[in-house]
Structure formats: C-alpha cells, structure tokens
Structure 1
Amino acid sequence: MGSLISEILTWLTNMGYAGIAIGLMIEIIPSEIVLAYGGYMVSEGTIGFIGAIIAGVIGGTIAQIFIYWIGRYGGRPFLDKYGKYLLIKKHHIDMSENWFQKYGAGVVFSARFIPVVRHAISIPAGIARMPFLKFVVLTVLAIIPWSILFVYLGIQLGSQWDDVENIAGTYTTPIMILAVVVIALYFVIKKRTAIFKR
C-alpha cells in the first residue's frame, strides 16, 4: 500500500464515519480499500460495524447519484469531453450503455458487482432519464452487500487489511458470476414477456 494512500486513509478515517462516507463519495481510493480499512477500525473498536456499513452505503450512493446527474444533465457530449477528468473511461461508458440498452433498468443493480461497469452504469441510467427513486433504490440494494462484504473482510484481516485486494477475488468472483447470470435471466424473462404480450 503506497504511503500516499495510507496518508489519505488516515486522514479520512480520523473523521470516523464521515471519513468513510467521504472516501466513497470522492473515490480517490477504491471503495474496497476504504471499506476494508473501515473494517479494520471496527476490529480496533474505533467505530461500530453497523455504522461503518451505513457510512459506506451513504457515501457510495451519493457518488452514484452524482454520476447519474452528470449523465442526465450533461449527457454523452459532456462525458466525452470531460469524463477523463472524472476518471471515467470512454470504453467503460460504451460498455455500460450497451448493457443498459440491452438489459434495461434492472442492470443498475446487478452491474454493481462487475468491476468494469460498476460505476459507469449510472451514466446511461441518467442519460435514459431512469426514474430517480428507482435508480436510488436499486443502487442502495446493491451497495449494501458490497459494503458488508468488505467491512467484514477488513475485520477479519485486522492489521493486514491492506491485503484485501489479494483475497477479495475469492469472494467477489462468485458474486460477479452470479450477477452475470442474473442479468442473463432478467434479459430472457424480459424478452419472453415481450413476446407473450404481442
């Protein structure tokens, strides 16, 4: 773990729950690392488990709402021009747009567990003017288990919390596979429903 990242984490977590929320809002450091460090703080008795989860969910949701609004009011032209400054890559936007167009609004939930499109999926949701409340609900429902997982891993790792990236795959790979299966099933059901309605 780089010294700069450690310094930022220390600065954030000195603020307790607010620091975790802010860390996920700005995401200078990957959310998994912030949450794992939060788990370490829980293991040290500095903060509580439920509070860490709530802070993670609030911060992660606000971050996605921000991206949603960019998509909704800035659109693709804005993102093509300024996306790089927001650390949003063009090919991630392309992929998430394709997924959203193909699978519909339900992908906002399941795509949260797939690294490449996890954050970018909020962009086409905004561009398509997906109902805001529906977007928030699906986002929160996806962020809750993600936050629980990484805070838990941070607790288990304790002072070795920075190893979370090395062991996370054991837990996240099955989740990603399940997410892809859910997306596929959603698409099949949606397609069959459309056929029966004809």
Structure 2
Amino acid sequence: MFAEIILYLENILFVYGPLGVFIASIIEEVIAPIPSTLVIMGTSFIVLKGAVISIDAFLKLFLNIVLPASLGVTIGSLFVYGIAYFAGKPFLERWGKYLGVSWEDIEKTEKKFQKSRSDELVLFLVRAVPIIPSVAISAFCGFIRFDLKKYLVITFFGTLVRAFILGFIGWQFGSMYQTLADEISYLEEVSVIVILISAVLYFIYKKKLKK
C-alpha cells in the first residue's frame, strides 16, 4: 500500500512538474506517514537526472522543486498547526493535571516566544534541518499558539533551506535517493519521540521548580 502511494506521487511529479511538487508537498505534510524526504529527493532525481552542476541547474532546482515544495509544506502545515491550536487547550484542561502541565504554562511559553528573537531563530533552524520532522514543529507551534504570521514566514523560509538541501542530495546521489530518504525518515521518527519526551519533561521540570 505504501509503495503504491509513493509510486502514485512520483507519477504526479513526473506528469505535472512544479505543480505536482506543490500538490505532493501538501499531501505529505497532511499525511504524516508519507516521508517528505522521499517527495523532494525523488523529484530532484527525476527533474535533474544527469544534469551537471551549473547556475542553470541550480535555478531549475529552485524553481521546479525548492520553491513549490516550500509553498506546499507551508500550506499543508496549517492543517496540523490548526488542529494543535484548537485542540491543545481542551486537551490540557482535561489531561494536563496528569502530565503536570497547565494551560497557564503554555501561555507563559507563548509569551516567551513572542518576546524572544532567539526563539524565532531556533524555530527557523529546526525547520531547516532535514532530520527534524516538520509535523512535530507545526504541532508545537500550534499548541503554544505561536503568532500565525511569524509562523508562516519562518515555515516558508526554513523549508526553503531544508528543500534545497534535500533536493541537492537527491540530484547528486541519483538512484540512491530512496535509500537516503528512508534513512532520513527513520531519523525523523526518532526525532519525534525525542521532541515529545523532551517537551513533557521540560514542563514537568518547570512545574516542580515553581513548587
């Protein structure tokens, strides 16, 4: 089933070009099991197969893959951001006491992020790193109700860097892209677990510190 989905996406990319990259990037952002690495790296392999490193090739990479992928991820991420934004408060009001986290803790974290420029830089950097799952970042930003305008700007430009890195790897390593994509996707899954555990431990620590 999974292989069929990937094959279908690759057919879309081959037939529709940049529009296919845009559509596939939205789909992979909404349907988490589809690796974003496979979409971008696979597309660069198809579009730039055999191309030598040159200004024209980099321009083709940017216009056909990096730009549409970044737009697609930014739009698709709003789905996860929206769910976390609206479901976060009811969830904590019901289950927060068992986790040692209250909605007041989230509001304080939100204010801290709104005031600190360094936190915005951190969000940009984690968006740009290929092994950090995009869905986890979108959920976190929605959960703390991070400013939507800032979120969209950081997501778009951070994904530009991420997509360029992945696209270049797919282009240069050719048929090895699927193996590399699988490896990066595995690291993404590990990162999700680490991020979730770290977030819970952080809020529990802050709660105990307050007491």
Normalising by structure 1, what TM-score? Answer: 0.62
User: Matches of 1:121 and 1:3 in 2, distance apart?
Assistant: 26
Counterpart residue type for residue 137 of structure 2? I
Deviation at 1:65, TM superposition (A): 1.9
Is this contact kept in 2: 1:108–1:122, CA < 8 A?
A: no
**1:19-168 matched pairs, under 5 angstroms:** 19-27=20-28, 28=31, 29-44=34-49, 48-51=60-63, 52-75=65-88, 77=90, 101=109, 104=113, 105-106=119-120, 107-112=122-127, 113=129, 115=131, 118-165=134-181
Give unpaired runs (5+ residues) of structure 1.
Answer: 80-96, 177-198
Deviation at 1:166, TM superposition (A): 6.4
Deviation at 1:160, TM superposition (A): 3.2
Counterpart residue type for residue 38 of structure 2? I
User: Matches of 1:76 and 1:64 in 2, distance apart?
Assistant: 19
Poorly superposed stretches of 4+, deviation over 6 Å? none
Counterpart residue type for residue 63 of structure 1? G
Is this contact kept in 1: 2:10–2:39, CA < 8 A?
A: no
SS in 1 for 2:166: helix
User: Matches of 1:116 and 1:50 in 2, distance apart?
Assistant: 21
Q: What residue in structure 2 maps to residue 93 of structure 1?
A: none
User: Matches of 2:123 and 2:80 in 1, distance apart?
Assistant: 13
Q: What residue in structure 2 maps to residue 196 of structure 1?
A: none
CA deviations over 1:51-102 (Å, ceiling 9, x no partner): 21111101111122222222223335479xxxxxxxxxxxxxxxxx99x949
Deviation at 1:141, TM superposition (A): 2.1
Give unpaired runs (5+ residues) of structure 2.
Answer: 52-58, 93-104, 114-118, 192-211
Deviation at 1:145, TM superposition (A): 1.0
User: Matches of 1:141 and 1:132 in 2, distance apart?
Assistant: 14
Deviation at 1:163, TM superposition (A): 2.7
How much identity, in percent, do the aligned residues show?
A: 25
Normalising by structure 2, what TM-score? Answer: 0.58
Please say which structure displays the higher CA radius of gyration. Answer: 2
How many residues matched?
Answer: 154
| Residues 117 and 146 (structure 1), Cα distance of their counterparts in 2 relative to 1, 3 Å cut | closer
User: Matches of 1:134 and 1:144 in 2, distance apart?
Assistant: 15
Is this contact kept in 1: 2:130–2:162, CA < 8 A?
A: no
User: Matches of 1:11 and 1:111 in 2, distance apart?
Assistant: 30
